[in-house]
């Protein structure tokens, strides 16, 4: 037996994640990176077969990751991937026991999502310059991008995957909502506010044609880059960060910050938690409950700052 037995076992597991669990390509790639590191660690120990691995060695891998200086969240994610790999190997009969069953990932503090204030959201939208006289295609695109992210609570991956026809149907009949392709290929319906619809209409009429006039075959994508191709997730991320800097927002801002802000402002406005869960596409209401903690934390800060006898 050689180390290829471990590599083959990993390849079988990754194939299982795609075929049986339907995970997205980006998610499977993240699993591969974490588990390649695990297999490299096992190779250093001279292990070449799944049935040679014991719980002490899996536990030692956690210490090895700490020694690399990885953040607790990264370590927890990697250990979770290792546990999944060993469960699969045990279920497939490659090992008699699961050596990772008793190895727990490190505890990590719960990170509450950071939301922008309404004033900061306005400043971010204003920084795009879409409403300025003579706004060009890039300004109109960026304005529509930010308005759609905040007005729908969509993930950036869902937004850059949109095609023009899908948005035209929304603009023709807003009651239809917008069908988004979420994690794992799941679809969900998002509602889109009037400001976002106006920004999208302006972009489609006066902005996108300019970006599409590159002489190349134009994709059906809603958001185009300066060369007329589909705007990538990373480019959209960079654009939002650039707008935040232009707006003078001191905190770190990403497209997901706008999703957090969307949810937090809905709950601040009295929206029911289950409704927000449905709008965000969360599988569990426990995930959505994080936003109620943000709101309570904000109320506590205001109380301490404003009440003369607050502790």
| Active-site annotation, residues | 155, 183, 256, 259, 282, 291
Do residues 129 and 139 lie in contact, with contact meaning Cβ atoms separated by under 8 Å? yes
**According to the model, what pLDDT value does residue 120 have?**
95
Long-range CB contacts (< 8 A, 24+ apart) of 164-171?
164/204, 164/208, 164/220, 164/221, 164/222, 165/220, 166/222, 167/200, 167/204, 167/222, 168/204, 170/197, 170/200, 171/197, 171/200, 171/201, 171/204
Task: Tell the residue number behind the tokens 């490190």, with chain if given.
Answer: 106
Region 146-152 average pLDDT: 94
Region 286-308 average pLDDT: 62
pLDDT band with cut points at 50, 70 and 90 for residue 61:
very high
**According to the model, what pLDDT value does residue 112 have?**
58
Q: Would the pLDDT of 309 be above 70?
A: no
Instruction: Answer with the residue of higher pLDDT: 239 or 134.
Output: 239
What does the mean pLDDT of the chain come to?
A: 86
| 161-212 pLDDT, tens digit each | 999 999 999 999 988 888 888 766 778 888 898 999 999 999 999 999 999 9
Dihedral of the alpha carbons of 40, 44, 45, 49, in degrees to the nearest 10: 40
User: Which CATH architecture fits 118-303?
Assistant: Orthogonal Bundle (1.10)
Region 76-95 average pLDDT: 92
| 240-289 pLDDT, tens digit each | 999 999 999 988 899 989 988 988 888 888 877 777 777 777 666 666 66
In the chain, domain spans? 4-91, 118-303
Mean pLDDT highest for which of 57-71, 111-125, 220-234?
220-234
Q: How far apart are CA 264 and CA 102, in angstroms?
A: 37
Domain 4-91 has CATH 1.10.150: yes
Q: Would the pLDDT of 141 be above 80?
A: yes
Q: How far apart are CA 77 and CA 61, in angstroms?
A: 13
Q: How far apart are CA 200 and CA 171, in angstroms?
A: 8
Mean pLDDT highest for which of 104-108, 207-211, 296-300?
207-211
One fold for 4-91 and 118-303 = no
Instruction: Answer with the residue of higher pLDDT: 199 or 74.
Output: 199
**According to the model, what pLDDT value does residue 159 have?**
94
pLDDT band with cut points at 50, 70 and 90 for residue 301:
low
The continuous run of DSSP H or E covering 87 comes out as: helix 72-91
Q: Would the pLDDT of 14 be above 60?
A: yes
């Amino acid at each position: 037996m050689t180390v290829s037995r471990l590599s083959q076992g990993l390849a079988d597991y990754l194939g299982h994640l795609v075929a049986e669990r339907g995970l997205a390509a980006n998610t499977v790639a993240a699993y591969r990176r974490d588990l390649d590191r695990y297999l490299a660690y096992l190779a250093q120990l001279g292990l070449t077969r799944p049935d040679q691995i014991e719980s002490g060695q899996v536990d030692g891998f956690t210490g090895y990751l700490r020694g690399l200086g990885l953040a607790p969240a990264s370590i927890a994610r990697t250990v979770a991937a290792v546990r999944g790999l060993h469960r699969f190997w045990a279920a497939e009969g490659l090992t008699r026991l699961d050596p990772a069953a008793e190895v727990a990932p490190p505890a990590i503090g719960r990170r509450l999502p950071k939301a922008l204030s309404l004033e900061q959201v306005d400043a971010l939208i204003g920084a795009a310059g879409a409403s300025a006289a003579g706004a060009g295609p890039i300004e109109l695109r960026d304005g529509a991008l930010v308005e759609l992210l905040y007005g729908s609570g969509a993930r950036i991956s869902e937004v850059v995957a949109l095609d023009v026809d899908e948005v035209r149907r929304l603009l023709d009949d807003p009651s239809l909502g917008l069908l988004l392709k979420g994690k794992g290929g799941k679809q969900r319906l998002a509602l889109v506010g009037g400001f976002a619809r106006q920004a999208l209409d302006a972009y489609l009429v006066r902005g996108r044609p300019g970006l599409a006039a590159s002489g190349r075959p134009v994709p059906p994508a809603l958001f185009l880059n300066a060369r007329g191709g589909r705007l990538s997730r990373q480019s959209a991320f960079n654009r939002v960060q650039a707008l935040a800097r232009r707006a003078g927002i001191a905190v770190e801002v990403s497209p997901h910050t706008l999703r957090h802000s969307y949810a937090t402002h809905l709950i601040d406005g009295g929206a029911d938690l289950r409704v927000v869960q449905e709008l965000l596409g969360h599988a569990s209401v426990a995930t959505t409950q994080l936003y109620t903690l943000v709101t309570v934390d904000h109320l506590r800060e205001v109380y301490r700052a404003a009440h003369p006898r607050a502790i």
